[in-house]
């Protein structure tokens, strides 16, 4: 797991990734059938709930540290929320057989890139400015 060395955020990222791994454990091999849709719907609903809490927590920590990239980070969070909400609507409407596969790709690409790049930049800022929380 990618860590940014801020304990609270790293713990939340670990939980976030467990939700996604739970989806993969059920959905892999069934990404375009009923089992994949059911796993994707459950994972998306849980992911949305947890993501809302995580983003609020992460942004509060950023505000507490006076992070200059907070506004841009908030925009990125909004983009992810919109993508996940759109996928949940597609799953519930059975609009596309590819939606579970798209969730798998979103989790792999967006989340890991976001943690590795944007969140890592924040972690570096906190440590560079001497405000480490542990």
- Tell me: the pLDDT tens digits for 40-57? 777 778 888 888 999 999
Residue 115 · residue 13 · CB < 8 Å: yes
Per-residue confidence band for 28, with pLDDT thresholds at 50, 70 and 90:
low
- DSSP letters spanning 82-121: HHHHHHHHHHHHT--TTHHHHHHHHIIIIIHHHIIIIIHH
The pair phi, psi for residue 32, each rounded to 5°, is -120, 15
pLDDT, one tens digit per residue, over 78-110 is 998 888 788 778 777 776 667 667 777 777 777
The domain made up of 7-128 is a member of CATH 1.20.120.50: yes
Q: Where are the domains of the chain?
A: 7-128
- DSSP letters spanning 41-76: HHHHHHHHHHHHHHHHHHHHHHHHTT-TTHHHHHHH
What does the alpha-carbon distance between residue 8 and residue 28 come to, in Å, rounded to a whole number?
A: 30
Task: Flag whether pLDDT at 33 surpasses 90.
Answer: no
């Amino acid at each position: 797991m990618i860590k940014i060395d801020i304990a609270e955020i790293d713990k939340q990222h670990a939980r976030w990734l467990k939700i996604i791994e739970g989806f993969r454990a059920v959905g892999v091999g069934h990404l375009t059938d009923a089992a994949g849709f059911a796993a994707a719907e459950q994972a998306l609903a849980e992911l949305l709930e947890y993501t809302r809490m995580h983003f609020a927590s992460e942004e509060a920590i950023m505000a507490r540290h006076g992070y200059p990239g907070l506004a841009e980070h908030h925009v990125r969070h909004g983009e992810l929320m919109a993508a996940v909400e759109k996928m949940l609507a597609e799953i519930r409407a059975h609009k596309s057989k590819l939606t579970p596969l798209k969730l798998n790709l979103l989790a792999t690409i967006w989340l890991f890139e976001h943690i590795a790049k944007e969140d890592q930049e924040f972690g570096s800022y906190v440590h560079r400015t001497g405000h480490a929380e542990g």
